[in-house]
Amino acid sequence: MAELLQTRLYEWHLAHGARMVPFAGWWMPLQYRGIVEEHGATRNACTITDVSHMGRLRFEGAGAGDFLNSLITRNVAGLKLNHVRYSLVTNARGGILDDVVVGYFANPYSQPFYLMVVNAANRAKILEWIQRHREDWPSRSGSLGHFLIDDLTRLTAMFAIQGPQAAAVLEPLVDCDLASMGYYRGCVVRLLHPKASRQGGILTRTGYTGEDGFELIVAAEIAVPIWEVILDLGRAFGLIPAGLGARDTLRLEAALPLYGNELTEEVNPWEVGLDFACELDGRDFPGCEALLRLRNEPLKRRLVCLEILGRRIARSGYPIKFQDQTVGVVTSGNYSPTLQKPIAMGFVLPELAEPGTEVQVEIRGQLEPARVVPRPFYRRPRPRVSTR
């Protein structure tokens, strides 16, 4: 078994009472004070989470945008500066290899570049996928492919600052107008605190919690001091550190898919409601032809949100039943601190996907009643800004 990696905050997490667990090849904090408290702080104030395990890949050069376009489901070659897009990487069958976020940025010291954030568990797989397709890129594109690809994961750290007070917390730290930064926007920023050593970072208005918030990438050598600066700035706003436990309950309430649960290489985008992330007409990328075919075929299953009507928690892999027949499977389930009830997501037959449909979940040999409800479970009020 390979040795687990550590983020630059590993020792800080230990020193501040974090419960550390193995996750996607890394030692990561599951919780500090407790999942429910950290979840509530994100919904009502603000939290900061170490997400440095996520992969960060930089593409720079004249052919970078066209090369990315040949690999992913959305057109990023046409991205405006400081815009960010959610996209998918698919295999030849249209199955999902990963879901990724791609931004287009520039600073005064380099030409514009693309930054792709990938799931931690998929970083090696996606890097291998990229390299395999880069080798035949000149023959496919008729171009020499003059661009560079750098894996910045170990050279940088990444923090998620999430919650309704996130902008207020970060405003003194960065040299940009956060109030005017729309959702799925970002920029290269200069960090205004002395501990930043005059360095910059990349800030995006993105997240995985269903709340307003930002994700900040900084150089690894200033990770600890900048983390502590944000904690100091956030103390007046109720900011506390949060672990991956709260991150999971937050994303479940927001019905955001998790790779390995809702998303796998056997799942296609139409089944999970990610059709918005598939721009197919006039495109050519691995899986495009399969997705064009699947777009016009009847679905065999659909991802739904389930409200568990009893008190027991449905976990991933539990069967979903209707009239004594197994009709699907739970992909994620937990107790919702916001709704104060068990909730789950899972695949069911398309004819059972309408909100209000009554089903059952088999939990350790016993049937628990459940109801299909609208997706997502929780939706915060959103400002009127562009979302994609």
CATH match for 55-151 among 2.30.30.230, 2.40.110.10, 3.30.70.1400, 3.90.1170.50: 3.30.70.1400
Q: Is pTM, for the whole model, over 0.75?
A: yes
Looking at residue 53, its pLDDT comes to 98
Burial class of residue 1 (count of CB atoms within 10 Å of its CB; 0-12, 13-18, 19+)? exposed
Looking at residue 142, its pLDDT comes to 57
Superfamily assignment of 5-52+154-253 in CATH?
A: Probable tRNA modification gtpase trme; domain 1 (3.30.1360.120)
Give the residue among 352, 319, 350 at the shortest CA–CA distance from 333: 319
Cis amide prior to 376 (ω within 30 degrees): yes
Q: Where are the domains of the chain?
A: 5-52+154-253, 55-151, 299-373
pLDDT tens figures, 270-292: 999 999 999 999 999 999 999 99
Q: Which CATH class is domain 299-373?
A: mainly beta
Which residue, chain included where needed, has tokens 């959103």? Answer: 382
Looking at residue 108, its pLDDT comes to 75
Measured between alpha carbons, how far is 88 from 273 in angstroms, rounded to an integer?
A: 12
Measured between alpha carbons, how far is 277 from 274 in angstroms, rounded to an integer?
A: 6
Looking at residue 386, its pLDDT comes to 39
Looking at residue 145, its pLDDT comes to 60
206 Cβ contact list (under 8 Å, min separation 6): 84, 101, 183, 184, 186, 213, 214, 215
The ranges of the chain with pLDDT < 70 are 1, 138-145, 382-388
pLDDT tens figures, 40-96: 999 999 999 999 999 999 999 988 999 999 999 999 998 999 999 999 999 999 999
Looking at residue 144, its pLDDT comes to 55
Looking at residue 78, its pLDDT comes to 86
φ and ψ at residue 378, rounded to 5 degrees: -130, 135
108 Cβ contact list (under 8 Å, min separation 6): none
Q: In terms of DSSP bridges, do strands 26-31 and 5-6 run parallel, antiparallel, or are they unpaired?
A: parallel
Phi-psi region of 151 (alpha: psi -120 to 50; beta: other; left: phi over 0): beta
Count other C-beta atoms under 10 Å from residue 361's C-beta.
28
Measured between alpha carbons, how far is 374 from 354 in angstroms, rounded to an integer?
A: 8
